[in-house]
Amino acid sequence: MVSDLLQPRDGVPPLLATPGEFAAAADVLASGTGPFAIDTERASGFRYDDRAFLIQIRRRGSGTLLFDPEQFRPELSRELGPVLNGQDWIIHAAATDLPSLSWLDLHPGLLFDTELAGRLAGFEHVNLAAMVEDIFGLHLLKGHGSEDWSARPLPESWLNYAALDVEMLLELADVMAEILDTQGKLPWAEQEFEHIANQFADVSEPTPSSWTDLKGLSTLKKPEQLVVARDMWLERDSYAASRDLAPGKVLANKVIVEVARTLPSSPAELARVKGFPGRSRGATNRWFRVVVRALKSPRRNWPSSLPRKDGVPDRRFWSSYYPEEYEVLQEVRAHIDDLGADLAIPGENILQPSTLRAVVWMATNSGEIRDPETLKTVLKDFDVRPWQIQQVFPILSDTLLKR
């Protein structure tokens, strides 16, 4: 029977927002025992970057504490760093929380990711609420994950929701470690957790974004389309950064791509582009000036083609332009999916799809992989973990090197 978990067992903690409160809370956390359960709430759909606007921490003997870092980020780092850094952390879907914590110079020692543990253990649903319900028969109160967590004051119901996100994490990690150990997968999980932690160990600030990351950009082929897309993206990024707004709230990616594709010749044409905020005459004129400025800029500065990050074609082009390589890719992918079914692990957690495409391409087209030793070296270069190499190497070797 499932029971509702409507509020934390110790009540909703107060929101700590001053250096003095941070220092006192650090002492409370230091007096506890065992790992720290940690979660963050961010506002990437509203603010320019993905920094944390709320940090939830729970530890046995300390209870749950809620931190508001925005006004005193250096002070928060100074107080919590000596307590948290190098210690055991438990996070659900750690890759989403670790960047914002790393920007605060907060880093785990040993990490346990309960979401990834669920994937490796073969759970059908790995969101936190589903796992807590499956294991403990408790239904977590949800519903505020997509709110604007930069808003102040935070409603009591939001704080209640946030505290519940770490309420059962310590117990969940204990159970998941036992399950993985029983399945013989705990060493695999530990390699994965270490890999995730290492990804953000040296991160101190958000990774700069680029106009070449604009979704849908690959549909633009002409230099004049690309220069308009580039300049519109740069204008949007500058405007959003100066006002701490999510870029998508200024102008959607698909609108930038559509404007670049159609190259409107007047403000009226621009206003008719689907999704463009055409009701604002000021916005229409401002963005049309960007289009005109881009097209009047020196042609020598126009991008003639998209820079490639590597030589591997986009996944959408394989079947049409590289049918032989695509056939091999499909064969290897089918074998890995079969392996995943046997291990009760999703195929993408055994070998990342982008890595699989790169390896197949390097073996079938570019000729960079010709022998087993090179194959192993390439896998290591792509940060494929030892347990993954052990599992996929026979498949890759048999399929790619014995053709």
What's the pLDDT tens digit per position in 12-23? 999 999 999 999
Domain match, 43 and 181 both: yes
pLDDT tier at 316, thresholds 50, 70, 90:
confident
Range of the structural domain that residue 341 is part of = 315-400
Is 60 exceeded by the pLDDT of residue 393? yes
Domain match, 322 and 273 both: no
In a domain, 186, yes or no: yes
Domain match, 171 and 273 both: no
CA-closest candidate to residue 340, choices 401, 279, 391, 272: 391
pLDDT in tens, 92-120: 999 999 999 999 999 999 999 999 999 99
Q: What angle do CA 125, 127, 132 make, to 5 degrees?
A: 90
Percent of the chain exceeding pLDDT 70 equals 98
Q: Are 56 and 110 in contact (CB under 8 A)?
A: no
In a domain, 126, yes or no: yes
In a domain, 290, yes or no: yes
Domain match, 48 and 178 both: yes
Q: How much is the average pLDDT of 121-136?
A: 97
pLDDT in tens, 259-275: 999 999 999 999 999 99
Spatial distance between the Cα atoms of 122 and 361, rounded to a whole number of angstroms: 30
Q: What number of other Cβ atoms are within 10 A of residue 137's Cβ?
A: 11
CA-closest candidate to residue 54, choices 151, 140, 127, 128: 151
Rounded to the nearest 10°, the torsion over CA 74, 77, 82, 87 is -160
Domain end (from 301, 333, 356)? 301
**How many domains is the chain partitioned into structurally?**
3
Query: CA-based Rg of the chain, rounded to a whole angstrom?
Result: 25
In a domain, 306, yes or no: no
Q: What angle do CA 229, 235, 239 make, to 5 degrees?
A: 145
Domain end (from 301, 329, 353)? 301
Domain end (from 144, 173, 199)? 199
Domain match, 33 and 106 both: yes
Q: Give how far Cα 39 sits from Cα of 8, 42, 57, 100, 166, Å.
A: 15, 10, 7, 10, 7
Domain match, 227 and 373 both: no
In a domain, 151, yes or no: yes
State residue 403's pLDDT score. Answer: 66
Token duo for residue 225:
């389309």
CA-closest candidate to residue 389, choices 370, 376, 373: 376
Spatial distance between the Cα atoms of 138 and 132, rounded to a whole number of angstroms: 6
State residue 168's pLDDT score. Answer: 97
State residue 308's pLDDT score. Answer: 52
Domain match, 264 and 173 both: no
Q: Are 120 and 349 in contact (CB under 8 A)?
A: yes
Q: Which residues contact 39 (CB under 8 A, 6 or more apart)?
A: 55, 56, 91, 92, 97, 162, 165, 166, 169
**CATH assignment at residue 272:** 1.10.150.80
pLDDT tier at 136, thresholds 50, 70, 90:
very high
Q: Where do the H-state alpha helices sit in 263-385?
A: 267-271, 281-296, 318-321, 323-343, 347-350, 353-364, 372-381
